[in-house]
Amino acid sequence: MNSTIYDIAREAGVSIATVSRVFNDNSGVTPKTREKVLAVAEKMGYHPRALAQSLARKKSRVITVIVPVISNYFFMEVLAGMQDKIVDYDYDLQIFNVKMAHDSDLLNQANHIIKRGWGEGYLVISVHLSDSEWKALHKYKVPVVLIDEYYPGFDTVSVDSIEGAYTATSHLIRQGHRSVGMICANPTSKPSIDRVLGYRRAMEDAGYMVDPEMIAAGENMERDGFTESNGYEAMSRLLTLENPPEACFCASDIQALGAIKAMKDHGRQIPIIAFDDLEFSEYVGLSTMRQPMYEMGALAIEKIVKRIENPDTDVTHTVFSPDLITRASAPDYAGINEPDEARDEARISRNS
């Protein structure tokens, strides 16, 4: 995380004005105080020349990223795209990791960061608020781009989760699986809501009723439920049903890892398709819906820089379409379009 002038002043126990005078080489600062401020800046990795320039033009040239959990694979992929793209512009990134615990108030955390002015623009990744809450932040009239979320007043970058879930579920149905389960996440999370909707539509369009028991999630909603343990618990529930599913769509790759372990522990193996296409997915043979996380991060940088430098431009919303990537966990065998009986025979012969 990049330090700010506020951090230096707080750590050194001086005012922001004193920090400014030190880095602009103005008089009126004692040698002892100057030495202390410069030592704090060096410790925090803040270059005095860059700070002096930002103070002189009264702009930080800093873009602040607000993210729930930077250890999450999805966020790391998005951040990689941001970090590679930011080198094309005269801006720096700083990252604020907000808490996602049940008792935390995401709105207050985001509100605090924006009110402190810790950036010329803000990139908000996977922070899911209501429209009224986004409206409360919109009043500050600062450049904001949302990633993995939507609000009409802000520029947004997202992936079509409904389409992705529909494609994944339909693929499993076309392979002859009449009973398809789903592992979802936090029911209030927009990606989870949309993926459940896509799953339901695919089942209904195929003529199958949606059994609520076939939609499962674990109890622990840390990171909105997009965790290995959540996937493990959800798959365990599905496999212990009186009539367990023949196949499963999973809301995320990271949950699918837990689901795969649950299948192993229960001595069962069913086809599974997940959502993300994280780097590890190829190595574990996981079929998944690929969302362009790196590209989403790079595009978000382009949008925020444009918004900072041209604040009156029209708001834009970019929605990427995910791609189905088939691997060993749900292979795309040739009989996918054959009648049910012929397809079943083809699958049996290939597995024998």
Give the mean pLDDT per block of 10 residues along the chain (352 residues): 74 83 73 88 65 50 84 84 92 83 67 81 90 88 93 96 97 95 90 95 95 93 86 97 97 96 96 95 96 96 96 95 95 52 39 35
Q: Please determine whether the domains at 1-58 and 161-291+323-351 fall in the same fold group of CATH.
A: no
What is the residue-averaged pLDDT of the chain?
85
CATH architecture of 1-58: Orthogonal Bundle (1.10)
CA distance 288 to 164: 9
Give residue 28's pLDDT.
73
Contact yes or no for 162/194 (Cβ under 8 A): yes
Residue 188 neighbours by CB under 8 Å, 6+ apart:
128
Give residue 271's pLDDT.
97
Give residue 57's pLDDT.
46
Pairing of strands 323-325, 287-290: antiparallel
Spans of all domains in the chain: 1-58, 161-291+323-351
Give residue 73's pLDDT.
81
Give residue 210's pLDDT.
94
Spatial strand order in the sheet of 287-290: 215-216, 180-183, 247-250, 272-276, 287-290, 323-325
CA distance 321 to 324: 10
Residue 61 neighbours by CB under 8 Å, 6+ apart:
53, 54, 90, 91, 92, 120
Identify the CA nearest to 233 among candidates 192, 179, 185.
185
User: Is domain 161-291+323-351 in CATH 3.40.50.2300, yes or no?
Assistant: yes
For the CA atoms of the chain, what is the radius of gyration? Answer: 24
Query: Can you point out the beta strands (E) in 232-276?
Result: 247-250, 272-276
Give residue 59's pLDDT.
62
Give residue 111's pLDDT.
80
Contact yes or no for 238/259 (Cβ under 8 A): no
